[in-house]
A and B are shown apart, each in its own frame.
Chain A
């Protein structure tokens, strides 16, 4: 069996806190939500399982055999019990205001929930232009998102939100794709240039504040 410490990327003498931190970082990296609908979801699931097992094993080793049964302390069970497609279940608030396409849309939704995206795409395309309501746009967006067509997926989600502004499911789908895109991109967006002018302005402000309080930061002004 592989060394659990190697799996988590920590040394044997790492503290419990370090092990937990390493586990959390890896769990965040390979979390099933990150691979939801992806072709690589099964590989991510295997990786997650390996990480959970390694963490459980270290917990068992460190807590002694007596406590072997409750090693996972929440994390293992939280990340282990993932079921693909959960993101699309439960939303049915668009009911009632469309006529002929309701049953077909329901079928498309079940196909999406079952992970049969291409079949769902065919069902959706068979619906007449006039019956393409907010839910149709939302479901179409889900199919395109799974295909990795992020531009078109957003387009359909935006139309769904526009047609039915109060629908939380459609808004959540659009917010989710935007949050995912910004999940890692941090450094270049947050870096703002600080010019000599900015520095001088900052110093002048600091000087004013100091003078208000009876002190002085820059004596000459």
Chain B
């Protein structure tokens, strides 16, 4: 589901990319230290973006320190020292991992379902730990649950509008990005989250469309293709420009919201965020539409 919100490393300066790497490693470490080492396996680029955006909104510049990490214990790596933005990102990872596992238990069948059932107490414990550490998460919990049930309802109704189907996930990320902020910062964060969430959903839907057509799982593009009596592959080819424009518009809208942050021009995280919205995400969208179904590299961003 995740992996489309990445940096285009080639277009970043060396120090900007080093900053991104430090936040990436810092988010991973925050998951490991604040919640559970197991949570580090759920680290995705989306959580790094969440941490970066919240660092800019809260004007946390952070301190980069050399630390050893679980993945590479022999060498110290420069990583962002723990801060509230990283900690919140780790809590959100625990929350989404828990809800993701619950969702899979409901959707999957056979061995996979058994595996997810076995995983469920672990993710539930991680989420509980995150909630114990942050009292404000209860409010977010309710919003996230409401968005997920709205999403399930829409998918059940079989809507053929990709925009309608993408909205609940946009709302979910909007609430997550904006959590704890007030006034204009809240509106800006919400705007960034909504468009990022919608982008992820639409990209994922386009990417999974051929597989979903075969398996019969819900996918708005499959339903839209059926309405026009086309196969989903033909539909994606025929309406390629419309889909790519919509995805690029989501990136543009997220960038325009971000540009309104007071510290957007001066914060060291800004070039990374701009790169994600203006280069990384459009490149991921292009890749998905060029080759739907072929997975994006899930490797470490330094090896892209």
Q: Which residues of A contact B (CB under 8 A)?
A: 9, 29-30, 34-35, 38-40, 43-44, 47, 144, 148-152, 154-155, 158, 177-178, 180-185, 187-189
Q: Which residue of B lies closest to A178 (CB)?
A: B245
Contacts of A150 in B (CB 8 A): 163, 245-246, 249-250
Q: Which residue of A lies closest to B162 (CB)?
A: A151
Most buried by B among A38, A44, A187: A187
- Please state if B249 and A177 are interface contacts (CB–CB under 8 Å): yes
Main secondary structure of the interface of A (DSSP, over half): helix
Chain B 237-255: CB-based contact to A (< 8 A → 1; otherwise 0):
0000111111011111101
Chain B 193-221: CB-based contact to A (< 8 A → 1; otherwise 0):
01100100010000000000000000000
Main secondary structure of the interface of B (DSSP, over half): helix
Size category, B interface: 35 or more
Contacts of B256 in A (CB 8 A): 34-35, 38, 40, 44
Query: CA A30 – CA B279 in complex, angstroms?
Result: 19
Cβ of B275 to closest chain A Cβ, rounded Å: 10
The yes or no answer to B18 lying at the interface (CB within 8 A) is: no
Tell me the residues in window 173-191 of chain B with beta carbons closer than 8 Å to chain A beta carbons: 184, 187-188, 191
A188-B286 contact in complex given A35-B256, A181-B245, C-beta closer than 8 Å: yes
- Please state if B251 and A185 are interface contacts (CB–CB under 8 Å): yes
Contacts of B243 in A (CB 8 A): 151
Contacts of A148 in B (CB 8 A): 194-195, 198, 250, 253
The yes or no answer to B78 lying at the interface (CB within 8 A) is: no
- Please state if A183 and B252 are interface contacts (CB–CB under 8 Å): yes
Cβ of A28 to closest chain B Cβ, rounded Å: 11
Q: Which residue of A lies closest to B253 (CB)?
A: A148
Cβ of B245 to closest chain A Cβ, rounded Å: 4
The yes or no answer to B278 lying at the interface (CB within 8 A) is: yes
Cβ of A10 to closest chain B Cβ, rounded Å: 11
Closest 3 CB pairs of A and B: A149-B163, A181-B248, A151-B246
The yes or no answer to B265 lying at the interface (CB within 8 A) is: yes
- Please state if A9 and B246 are interface contacts (CB–CB under 8 Å): no
